Amino acid sequence: MTSETCDVIVMGCGGFGSSTMYHLARRGLKVIGIDRFHPPHNQGSSHGETRIIRKAYFEHPNYVPLLHRAWVLWEELSDESRINLIEQRNLLMSGPLDSEIIEGARRSAQEHRLPLEDMNHSEASRRFPMFRLPEDHSVTVEASAGFLWAERCVETNIKSAIALGAELRCHEIVRSIDGTPGRLEVQTDRAKYSAAAGVVTCGAWTGQLLPGYARKIVVQRKTLSWLPMESDDWARPEKAPMFLMDVPEGQFYGLPSVDGKTIKVGMHTGGDIVTNPCEMDRTPTPEDEAPLIDFASTYLNGIHPGASQSVVCMYSMSPDGHFLLDRLPDLPLVVAAGFSGHGFKFTSVLGEVAADLIQYGRSPLDIDFLSAERFRV
């Protein structure tokens, strides 16, 4: 079995891990990334064509400064690579006045002076006829939103990191992590690695690799579906916004057509519990698609009520739905986990944050609210 030495080992090279590799490599550090698959891939949580990025963040106002920096970094990576990774789009948010989405978005917008356009039901229905909005819903539109090309982002991070000297080891499984405060030892099914530090960003597999995180993360199986459109309005960016809707059936989100044929719809709430991500059934079923089709049939116009394509992914849920981002006290290891279905948009900035934690032991951005120490008893 081979033995190798580097400055930093990154374990899990999806959205977050690929960004971490890039930010570490651009600082001149020798980086090895290890992934049990071949990123970008469809086995984890960093696939599905597109991801919404938004700034009026209903989850918590503390995320907004991170989002400002994330957007800048996505644009910088796009410019450096000459690959389009991020696109601006309006985001329609709809729900009862006291819903988490509406209240939270307005709170973040007010605290950080973000532009939101509030409108009544009749105005929203006139401007956005592709939605059948419940009459009791409050509606607001965010112009400082957009979407990311998910797999393209992962691939660009990895290629950029490799161009800067990083190495990627695919189809390799991390078996154990050990070491001392000044040294890290990683054993895989193929090799032994020694490094000054490491970063664990392996999503649904975090609890298997770090038993202390097993009680902090619950993995949920989720389905995304692409539904055929029957109105050309869904393919016109100036007409059709992205959307987040809080309805009695749950919280749903979607993106207008990027291919001129389909729109993408997902359900943020719900999901079956996954005990072992390696054994999860990744084949979508009619039962998986039914809530998404029912949502579209009830609340959307100009959509054919049937999925032309669906994929399965995973949410790694923390107890409170906020991320887990920490340096471990007994090992030179940064752990990022529990992204709870809303983390991909942050991966550009959190990759930079992880590099700061490795190199300087701190970040200039406020990440204290994401510390796993909040669950310490």
Whether 51 is catalytic: yes
Whether 112 is catalytic: no
Catalytic residue (one of 156, 313, 322, 342):
313
Catalytic residue (one of 216, 268, 322, 342):
268
Whether 5 is catalytic: no
Catalytic residue (one of 26, 222, 345, 347):
345
Whether 275 is catalytic: no
User: Could you tell me which residues are beta bridge partners of residue 226?
Assistant: 264, 309
Catalytic residue (one of 36, 51, 106, 342):
51
Catalytic residue (one of 55, 264, 322, 342):
264
Using CA atoms, how far apart are residues 166 and 299, in angstroms rounded to an integer?
47
Q: Which residues contact residue 34 at a Cβ distance below 8 angstroms, ignoring those fewer than 6 apart?
A: 9, 10, 11, 12, 13, 169, 172, 174, 186, 188, 193
Tokens of 355: 């590099």
Using CA atoms, how far apart are residues 38 and 72, in angstroms rounded to an integer?
27
* Residue length of the chain: 377
Q: Look up residue 166 and give its amino acid.
A: A
Catalytic residue (one of 26, 47, 89, 222):
47
Using CA atoms, how far apart are residues 220 and 317, in angstroms rounded to an integer?
7
Whether 313 is catalytic: yes
Catalytic residue (one of 50, 140, 188, 347):
50
Q: Smallest Cα–Cα separation from 107: which of 142, 141, 56, 63? A: 56
Sheet containing 146-149: order of strands: 50-53, 146-149, 86-88
Exposed, middle or buried, 262 (CB in 10 Å: 0-12/13-18/19+)? Answer: buried
Catalytic residues, by residue number, are: 47, 50-51, 264, 268, 313, 345
